[in-house]
């Protein structure tokens, strides 16, 4: 019983002990300067503007809602695979911030292989990407799924699509390779109805306008 009574007191003591340490670590600073590292295509001044951080404003470090919001603002651009905001230097009440970003690559070229049933022009409409566009791993996955749906609509539900991003000679530009196995096109041999009492089979078959027997 005594151990059970002491346990809540120990938790309370730990909270009270840690709170002053947390308060000491959290200090207010004035932003003296903001720089950007890692930008390849994005303009550093634009990155700073999007972040919402400004020289001369007060922030707590290392945790502040303004810093979290700045990171979120940059994430929402869907242009970066990594965003960090750190202190490069602290001098008295002044803090010098660095926004570190890693940009998603851009498309150098789109290469489609083994497509016969669907033309490259039609597939490019499905891909909906061009040279110079930003491309993320999730967008590559979406492209893959859209191509599969296109083949399914064309009567090839077993088509397989593989994708690969290949580094080009230009820094941060990648070639998007799309390798297709079109599979076998299925055919409807016959349509059979069961339990139809009020309609003829021919009338029901007429409802399948796009499904014809071979």
Mean pLDDT (whole number) for 178-185: 92
- CA–CA distances in Å: residue 97 to residues 86, 110, 204: 6, 38, 71
Mean pLDDT (whole number) for 93-117: 97
Structural element, H or E, at residue 69:
helix 65-75
Global confidence as pTM: 0.71
The domains of the chain, with CATH numbers, are 2-103 (3.10.20.310), 104-214 (3.10.20.310)
11-43 pLDDT tens trace: 444 444 444 444 446 799 999 999 999 999 999
Q: Among 30, 68, 77, 32, which residue's Cα sits nearest to residue 50?
A: 77
Q: DSSP secondary-structure letter at 54?
A: -
Is 146:185 a contact under the CB 8 Å cutoff? no
State the pLDDT confidence band at 210, using cuts at 50, 70 and 90: low
Mean pLDDT (whole number) for 82-102: 97
Mean pLDDT (whole number) for 71-93: 97
């Amino acid at each position: 019983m005594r151990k059970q009574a002491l346990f809540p007191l120990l938790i309370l003591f730990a909270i009270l002990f840690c709170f002053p340490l947390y308060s000491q670590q959290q200090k207010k600073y004035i932003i003296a300067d903001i720089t950007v590292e890692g930008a390849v295509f994005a303009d550093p001044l634009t990155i700073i503007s999007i972040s919402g951080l400004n020289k001369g404003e007060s922030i707590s470090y290392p945790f502040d809602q303004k810093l979290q919001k700045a990171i979120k603002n940059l994430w929402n651009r869907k242009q970066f695979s990594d965003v960090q905001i750190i202190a490069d230097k602290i001098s008295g009440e002044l803090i010098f911030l660095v926004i570190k970003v890693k940009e998603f690559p851009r498309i150098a070229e789109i290469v489609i292989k083994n497509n016969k049933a669907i033309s490259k022009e039609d597939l490019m409409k499905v891909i909906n990407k061009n040279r110079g566009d930003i491309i993320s791993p999730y967008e590559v996955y979406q492209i893959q799924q859209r191509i599969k749906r296109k083949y399914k609509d064309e009567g090839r539900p077993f088509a397989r699509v593989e994708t690969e991003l290949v580094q080009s000679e230009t820094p941060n530009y990648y070639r998007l390779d799309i390798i297709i196995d079109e599979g076998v096109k299925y055919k409807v041999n016959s349509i059979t109805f069961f339990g139809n009492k009020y309609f003829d089979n021919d009338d029901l078959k007429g409802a399948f306008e796009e499904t014809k027997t071979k």
